[in-house]
Structures are given as structure tokens and as C-alpha cells.
Amino acid sequence: MAPTLANGLGFAASAQLNYLLSAHFTWGDRRPSRALSTKAWLSYNATVLIALTVNTAVFAAACLAVHPLVASLLGVIFGAAFTYSICNFVIFRSRKVLT
């Protein structure tokens, strides 16, 4: 298998595993209703693709100023922070009912 294809398949598989872990453990107390679960899954996957873009853009920009290892770390930090923020405040947001 071509390395690029293998990397893409690994990324896709990782995203699906991360969705399941996020839905059941990280935000398990905020699980969407069954009717919203497909929307949450699609939203999560869109978020992951945007986070990949954020990661790549930060890495490319940082490579101009710092060592590639540091640039890679910065890309991961920014991509992870983006994903966490969207998941916490949008996809798996708390659905508390005000009384």
C-alpha cells in the first residue's frame, strides 16, 4: 500500500475511534440523543478535517521560525485545542434545562 494512502486511512480510522471515545468517555454525560447522533458524528468529522488544516497551517508557518519538531508540537497543540473547544462548546455541549 502506498504510504500516503496508508497515512490517510490511519487518520480516518483514528478519527472514528476518537469520536467513539469522546462520545462515551470524555463527554459521556453529554451524549446527544439518538436523533442527533448522526449530526454529532458528521460535525465531529468536519471538525477533525478543519483541525487537520489548522495543524498543517500552524506547522507550515512555524517551520519558518523554529525547528520542525517544535513546529510539529505547535501544530498538534493548536489542532487539539481547536478540536477540544468545538467538541466541548458545540458538538457535545451541555444540554441543561433551565427551570
Tens-digit pLDDT profile for residues 7-30: 888 889 999 999 989 888 888 887
Give Cβ neighbours of residue 51 (< 8 Å, ≥ 6 apart): 79, 80, 82, 83
pLDDT tens digit sequence for 41-56: 899 999 999 999 999 9
Q: What is the pLDDT of residue 29?
A: 82
Whole-number pLDDT of residue 35? 47
| pTM metric for this prediction | 0.80
- Which residue has better confidence, 81 or 1? 81
Q: What is the pLDDT of residue 96?
A: 66
* Closest to 46 in 3D by CA, of 10, 78, 82, 81: 82
